[in-house]
């Protein structure tokens, strides 16, 4: 496959960026999007040109490192996939692909397609944990959890914190991320003792990081590679009101 790539190049957060166009030959349909970019960088290195900076790590959709805005979609057109699992067979030979970094005030561009997503980490640090004494692991059946609740909690716990929800939202809101983090604890008995402090602290931190608010447009749900559901946001709101 032959591709024309229009990639956002930006030296750092302070400099102005611009698109640079690259022609890339020899892309195999079975390559992942990240492997395609690695091929591009290899080609650029051989030509003595500067490679494109982009985040990637696990290549199996569980780390949340990769993430770019591909032709108007965070993580690309295919639903439920991270950029590293997006296969090049979804693109046509000769196609032009426009790649941009996540855009949000709390996500400053570090370089090219890499953005600083530590704002999400700060929200997590504010309350996304449970306080337990360390030592021997507790007996698995000491606290009973219903199958339904454990499934729902797990469905929200699969959030990898990639920031696609923020990137997709017209308000750059992190509500889906926060709702997933809140839900995974709110649904389980172990999360209840600190539920009030948690939800207040995480929402306060979310606002402090200047994420937008939720307009219930559903773009986040559509673009989430882990398919976190919108009703988690309703649960987050519920938990917030219940904390008073």
Partner 1 sequence: MNKTLFSAVSKKFVMALAGLFLLLFLPVHLGINLMLLKSDPEPFNSAAHFMATFPLIKVVELLLFLTILIHITYGIILQILNWLSRPVGYKVRNKSETSAFSRFMIWTGGSVLIFLVIHFFNFYFIKLGLVDGNPEDFYSVAWQLFSVPGYVILYWICFLLLGFHLYHALQSAFQTLGLSNEFWKPVIRAISLIYAVAVPVGFAIIPLVIWLFK
Q: Contact positions toward partner 1, by CB under 8 A?
A: 8, 19, 69, 71-74, 98, 100, 103-106, 168, 170-173, 200, 203-204, 206-207, 210-219, 222-223, 229-231, 233-241, 244
Nearest Cα residue to 58 out of 160, 159, 158, 153: 160
In angstroms, give the least distance from the CB of 93 to partner 1. 21
Residue 92 buriedness (CB in 10 A; 0-12 / 13-18 / 19+): exposed
Q: Which is nearer to partner 1, 89 or 242 (CB)?
A: 242
Q: Which is nearer to partner 1, 8 or 54 (CB)?
A: 8
Contact between 20 and 32 under an 8 Å Cβ cutoff? The reply is: no
* Whole-number Cα distances in Å, 200 to 25, 127, 221, 239: 51, 8, 23, 9
Place of tokens 């890339």: 24
* Whole-number Cα distances in Å, 6 to 10, 92, 104: 13, 15, 20
In angstroms, give the least distance from the CB of 147 to partner 1. 16
Q: Which is nearer to partner 1, 154 or 231 (CB)?
A: 231
Q: Which is nearer to partner 1, 66 or 236 (CB)?
A: 236
In angstroms, give the least distance from the CB of 143 to partner 1. 24
In angstroms, give the least distance from the CB of 74 to partner 1. 7
């Amino acid at each position: 496959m032959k591709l024309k790539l229009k990639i956002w190049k930006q030296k750092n957060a302070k400099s102005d960026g611009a698109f640079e166009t690259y022609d890339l030959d020899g892309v195999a349909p079975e390559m992942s999007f990240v492997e395609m970019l690695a091929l591009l960088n290899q080609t650029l290195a051989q030509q003595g040109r500067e490679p494109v900076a982009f985040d990637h790590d696990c290549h199996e959709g569980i780390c949340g490192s990769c993430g770019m805005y591909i032709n108007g979609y965070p993580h690309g057109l295919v639903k439920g996939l991270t950029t590293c699992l997006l296969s090049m067979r979804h693109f046509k030979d000769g196609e032009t692909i426009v790649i941009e970094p996540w855009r949000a005030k709390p996500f400053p561009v570090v370089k090219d397609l890499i953005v600083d997503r530590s704002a999400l980490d700060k929200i997590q640090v504010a309350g996304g944990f449970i306080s337990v004494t360390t030592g021997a692991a507790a007996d698995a059946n000491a606290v009973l959890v219903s199958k339904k609740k454990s499934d729902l909690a797990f469905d929200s716990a699969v959030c990898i914190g990639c920031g696609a929800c923020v990137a997709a939202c017209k308000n750059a809101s992190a509500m889906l991320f926060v709702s997933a983090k809140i839900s995974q604890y709110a649904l389980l008995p172990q999360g209840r003792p600190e539920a009030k402090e948690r939800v207040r602290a995480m929402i306060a931190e979310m606002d402090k990081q200047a994420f937008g608010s939720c307009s219930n447009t559903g773009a986040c749900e559509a673009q989430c590679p882990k398919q976190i559901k919108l009703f988690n946001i309703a649960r987050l709101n519920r938990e917030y009101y219940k904390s008073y």
